[in-house]
Structure 1
């Protein structure tokens, strides 16, 4: 079977590999879709400290069960499934307290275990142990279902930040995550949603699909001034930084309303994670700043429900479908920002 293995930064190889063998407590699936994201770009260029190469990467996974390991119940061959990416241990203090996204012993598909850029793969026992395999509803295709994983992360972030009915929300970053944030904010009752990006082409492409109330090109206008203008100088109730940008985080604190909430959703580069933060803005305006990291198995299930119900449509966000043999092209397309979402169909 064909797989895409990461060996080192700049070295992802398409290789033939033997079919994996299912073990006790495991499932084997024929991969239907594994969508790509910015993390795949970062891995391809810089590697990751949790990846011990060679490793099959890819973590936005759907497939059909082809074999069932000893001791696994409740599944049948042919079942359509979606697989979590972040695997909590289920037993640490954070997991027991309901904070699985910040599990101190978290593992991940495509990092600690071979991922979905393959024709077949094994779902490890650790995933099944935390109920991390979900049935794909009959009314959505497997490409749509693969977006449940990023939507689950978006759902976690908006729950933490408390996006709710009547809010004015700013989403900074018009990539696929930003598009999902716009759609989910609407589903949660936001009154207005503004989308900001410094790349005019990417902003226009995404805005044409998700239709924010305003699309703000950060290289052409001061996004802080524009958000203040659009809100009568009040600012936004919630600002979500869906981009790996320190400048976006700094601007978020200047455009959020008094008593507002800021979600640092996108992590910063490891070699440049420090921003300038005016602590007095936070203090005197009673601004709340939240982190957001990944998702839980329950978020993945709810994300599938949001997609299936039509509350958060995703089909039109998939603008490129490529074969596994085109994985290098897929990753470069994501890096160039010329597509909203690229999915691999082995």
Structure 2
């Protein structure tokens, strides 16, 4: 089978590999779709501290069960499935208290385990142990199901930020994550959702799909001023920074209304992880700042339900479908912002 295997920064090789066989406590799937994301670009350029090369990467995975280990109940060949990416241990104090996204023992598909840029994938026992293999609902395609993993992360972030009925919401960053944030905020009852992005072409491409109440190009206007104008000077209830930008995080405090919630959803570069934060704004305006890191197996299940119900459509966000032989083109599309969602169909 053909795989895309990462060896070192800049060294992602297309290789022939033997077709794997599952152990007694594993499931083998035929990968139909493995979508790409900004993390794949980061891995390609810089590697990752939790990734053990050489490694087949790719972690937004949907496929079809082809073989089931003797000790695995409940699955049969032909079942359509989606696989979680972040794998909590399920037994530590954080996991047992319902905080699986911050499990300190977390492992990940495409990092410690072989990933989905391949024709076949072995779902390891660690995924099965935390109920991380999910049945794809009727009517949901494999491509759509592969987007459940990033949507699960978005869901976790909005739960932590308390996005809900009647909120005004700003999403900073018009990539695929930003698009999912816009749609999920609407599904959760937000009154208005504003989308902010520096890149005009990227903003226009995404706004055409998700139709925010206002699309603000931060390279052309002062985004804080625009948000305040749209809200008669009050600011918004929730700001979500879906971009790796310290400036966006600093601006978020200026966009937030009194008692507003701010989600630092996008992580910052490792060589520049700090910002200047006016703590008096947090203090006197009673702001809440929350982080957001990954998702739980339950978030993945809920994400599939949101896609199946039509509450969060994702099909139209998949703008490019490429074979694994074109993985380098896919990564460049993601890096350049020339696509919303790129999916690999091995």
Pairwise TM-score range, normalised by the shorter structure: over 0.9
Q: What is the match of residue 221 of structure 2?
A: 221
Q: What is the match of residue 207 of structure 1?
A: 207
How far apart are the structure 2 equivalents of 1:175 and 1:6? 24
Give yes or no for the alignment of 1:313 onto 2:313: yes
How far apart are the structure 2 equivalents of 1:52 and 1:321? 27
Aligned runs of 1:134-173 on 2, under 5 Å? 134-173=134-173
How far apart are the structure 1 equivalents of 2:278 and 2:230? 23
C-alpha displacement of 1:267: 0.4
1:170 partner SS: strand
Runs of 4 or more consecutive aligned structure 1 residues displaced over 2 Å after TM superposition: none
Q: What is the match of residue 182 of structure 1?
A: 182
Kindly provide the CA deviation profile for residues 105-125 of structure 1, in whole angstroms up to 9, marking residues without a partner as x. 000000010000000010000
Q: What is the match of residue 76 of structure 2?
A: 76
C-alpha displacement of 1:296: 0.3
How far apart are the structure 2 equivalents of 1:25 and 1:137? 24
Q: What is the match of residue 60 of structure 1?
A: 60
Give yes or no for the alignment of 1:44 onto 2:20: no
How far apart are the structure 2 equivalents of 1:141 and 1:101? 26
1:95 partner SS: helix
1:65 partner SS: strand
Q: What is the match of residue 194 of structure 1?
A: 194
How far apart are the structure 2 equivalents of 1:121 and 1:132? 14
How far apart are the structure 1 equivalents of 2:201 and 2:149? 26
C-alpha displacement of 1:270: 0.7
How far apart are the structure 2 equivalents of 1:255 and 1:300? 30
Kindly provide the CA deviation profile for residues 104-156 of structure 1, in whole angstroms up to 9, marking residues without a partner as x. 10000000100000000100000000000000112011000000000000000
Provide structure 1 residue ranges, at least 5 long, that are not aligned to the other structure. Answer: none
How far apart are the structure 2 equivalents of 1:332 and 1:201? 16
Structure 1 length normalisation: TM-score? Answer: 1.00
C-alpha displacement of 1:48: 0.3
2:25 partner SS: coil
Give yes or no for the alignment of 1:265 onto 2:271: no
C-alpha displacement of 1:51: 1.0
C-alpha displacement of 1:70: 2.0
Structure 2 length normalisation: TM-score? Answer: 1.00
Length, aligned pairs only? 346
RMSD: 0.4
C-alpha displacement of 1:192: 0.2
How far apart are the structure 2 equivalents of 1:302 and 1:112? 25
Q: What is the match of residue 32 of structure 1?
A: 32
How far apart are the structure 1 equivalents of 2:109 and 2:328? 19
How far apart are the structure 2 equivalents of 1:224 and 1:211? 20
How far apart are the structure 2 equivalents of 1:328 and 1:188? 36
